[in-house]
Amino acid sequence: MTDPTPLKLLNREQAILEFNRRVLAQAQREDVPLLERLRYVCIVSSNLDEFFEVRFADMLEAVRDPLSTMTSQDVDRVGRAAHTLIDEQYLIFNEQLTPLLRKRRIVVLNHADRDEPQRHWVAKYFEREVRPLLVPVGLDPAHPFPQVANKSLHFIMRLSGKDAFGRDNRIAIVKVPRVLPRVIKLPANLSEGRQAFVLLTSVIRAHLEELFPGRKVEAFSQFRVTRDSDLEVDEEEIANLRHALRSGLTTRHFGRAVRLEVVNTCPAELSEFLLEQFGLPNAALYRVNGPVNLVRLNELIDQTDAPALRFKPFEPAWPTGRLPRHKSIFEKLKKGDVLLHHPFESFDPVVQMLREAVVDPEVLAIKQTIYRTGAKSELMDLLIEAARRGKEVMAVVELKARFDEEANINWAERLEAVGAQVVYGIVGYKTHAKLLLITRRENGKLRRYGHVSTGNYNPKTARLYTDLGLLTADADLTADADSVFRQLASLGKFKALRRMLLAPFNMHSRMLELLTQVEAAALAGYKGARVVVKINALTDAELIHGLLRTAQAGAKVDLIVRGACMLPPGLPGVSDNIVVRSVVGRFLEHTRVLYFRWADADDGEALFLSSADWMSRNMFRRIEVAWPVQDARLRQRVIDEALQPYLHDTMDAWQLGPDGRSARISDSGVSAQQALMRRYSEG
């Protein structure tokens, strides 16, 4: 079939902002507990920080590249969309959530709201905890504008009169210490039966003039600058990637400025001064009606004693029927694979398998990829203990996992210190595959056991993200995993694996082949031709056009894309056979499931699980794996739990329109996540 009708793909950055609009909509849902609604506001702030640090910064860089198709008009459009989203975010916080919190007797008290005893307590807190850490800087030729780190919070002031030396230096800067809590809970005896909080910025603001004796503060504002924070190192030119990244971490906080936030009462004189200092245009100025950096309100959520205003606790289920507790996981896996669906099922079996391997004298070797594990990790501690016990431990540590670089460097150094073999993947490619492989001696022969997953080896996020993992002793899959580890260590030529697909080698081409197979079946008149893809992002142009060809041939195409999707669905004659959904609920959708059907026979369908999204970077600039679920029982379980519920969700699902805007399907009915929680809670 010829290429589909040419069409303009949706803008990726605007698609990311559209996803955050869907997340922000959670803050307006009356069926979501109040503190969780506030948490969604905080999540959007955190997401937008990363958006500016990485995506928007890349756009600005691309505009300067003569070979790029990015234009200043593209940047302006995305900037305006970001302004609109942030304005909406503060509107929801001020006009919806704050009054509702007040009704629940949860209040944030500004200086004007505080009575005399409260002001007295705040003054004592300022003297004891805050003033000793403040360094007010008056600007003059000997005190130039200070280095301002990425996302650090400051005050800027215009002062009256002259300084102690008779000079007319009117501008001063005060940094808000990062080591102090941003939200402080007042004692109960001062709160009048409420839960009352003060913000650190409010504490400092009330005492600004005390920092400049003899002068008055005529005008002031909080401000925060966001900088380009993508670590860039020339891997071809460096001898030691770890040392280069360690060095780069010290300068990351001072990259090129891309956004300036001030409060909406900031005088134009001060905001213009700041824009000049950071070399930013007026379009980069974001005036916000409330606290600069809403992320810090997570501290208020954590300190508030109100269980009824949070989601009811959910305890992931242990797969008792398939994996009895307190019995050898290795013995169980000899009888068949075990599929785990997080967070509905516990991540503990993965930890238990590794724990069992560490103490088992018959286990000879353990290999694992490390992408995001966190600063504290029992899994990493277990790998270290395994190396101490003399087992062969190989860790593939991805040092360039964005914003986890420092934690991963620290783990790499600790592993090396106990004799583990640590490799950093392949130059120019991030290792994003999630693999654990254990080699055990049994009856004089070696046998492998493995775990492969769509998510990270992080027990904390395994309670918050939806993912699928497979515990297996399958000879083909574990041999493939071993081949991937050898590839990463030896850098030898790629040889096709038995079952797994491996990016950047054959995953992309195999996905296109499967789409073509479904397309051919549809053209031949097969009415059941079907593609269902559940991923986090769809931005690869070739795969998008492959989906379009398949749909135009008559196959039904359902896409469940959590985040950015550049395929415009619903265009008559072009993409009207494609439906794009996004599900935003209590948990972050993270599972990647790829389903293709081209015939009614048992061998007429294929279902893959994968670590990769359908983005060019995943397909060509990362080490990723996808593996087929060949057991018919497990394949049906994946369909029943990870696809069908999401295709029929009417509560948490949004449908994407051809213009890139999404609309909630309904605000009632069935929630896929809630249905799965009930299923596993009831056993």
HSE on the CB side for 304, CA within 13 Å?
A: 28
DSSP 218: E
Provide DSSP, 434-477: -EEEEEEEETTEEEEEEEEESS-S-TTGGGTEEEEEEEE--HHH
**DSSP labels for 36-94?**
HHHHHHHHHHHHHHHIIIIIIHHHHHHHT-TT----HHHHHHHHHHHHHHHHHHHHHII
Contacts of 251-255 with C-beta under 8 Å, sequence gap 24+, read 252/150, 253/149, 253/150, 253/152, 253/227, 253/229, 254/147, 254/149, 254/150, 254/227, 255/57, 255/150, 255/227, 255/228, 255/229, 255/230
Angle between helices 378-388 and 405-417 in degrees, nearest 10 = 20
Q: How far is CA 332 from CA 321, 348, 442, 450, 673, in A?
A: 11, 15, 15, 13, 29
**Helix crossing, 72-92 with 12-25: angle to 10°?**
10
Q: Token digits for 532?
A: 């269902």
228 phi and psi angles, rounded to 5 deg:
-60, 120
Type of residue numbered 454: T
Spacing of C-alpha 467 from chain mean position: 14
CB 651 within 8 A of CB 674: yes
**Cβ–Cβ < 8 Å for 426, 488:** yes
Exactly one of 432, 451, 508, 545 is catalytic; which is it?
432
Residue in 348, 331, 294 with CA at minimum distance from that of residue 37: 294
Distance of alpha carbon 593 from alpha carbon 613, whole angstroms: 10
Q: Classify residue 269 as exposed, middle or buried by CB count within 10 Å of its CB (0-12, 13-18, 19+).
A: exposed
How far is it, in rounded angstroms, from Cα 540 to Cα 154? Answer: 40
User: What is the number of other CB atoms lying within 10 angstroms of the CB of residue 11?
Assistant: 18
Structural contact between residues 377 and 403, judged by C-beta atoms closer than 8 angstroms:
no
Contact 222, 153 (CB under 8 A): yes
Cα–Cα nearest to 158, from 144, 175, 140, 170: 170
Look-up of token digits 């030898």: 492
Nearest-5° angle of CA 334, CA 494, CA 469? Answer: 35
Q: Is 432 a catalytic residue?
A: yes
Vertex 552: Cα angle to 550 and 558 (nearest 5):
60
Instruction: Compute the chain's Rg from CA coordinates.
Output: 27
Burial class (CB in 10 A: 0-12, 13-18, 19+), 522: buried
Distance (Å, rounded) from C-alpha 369 to C-alpha 424?
Answer: 10
Q: How far apart are CA 585 and CA 206, in angstroms?
A: 40
Q: Which two tokens stand for residue 261?
A: 């936030």
C-alpha distances out from residue 524 to 142, 520, 553, 554, 557, Å: 79, 6, 9, 10, 17
**Which residues are known to be catalytic?**
432
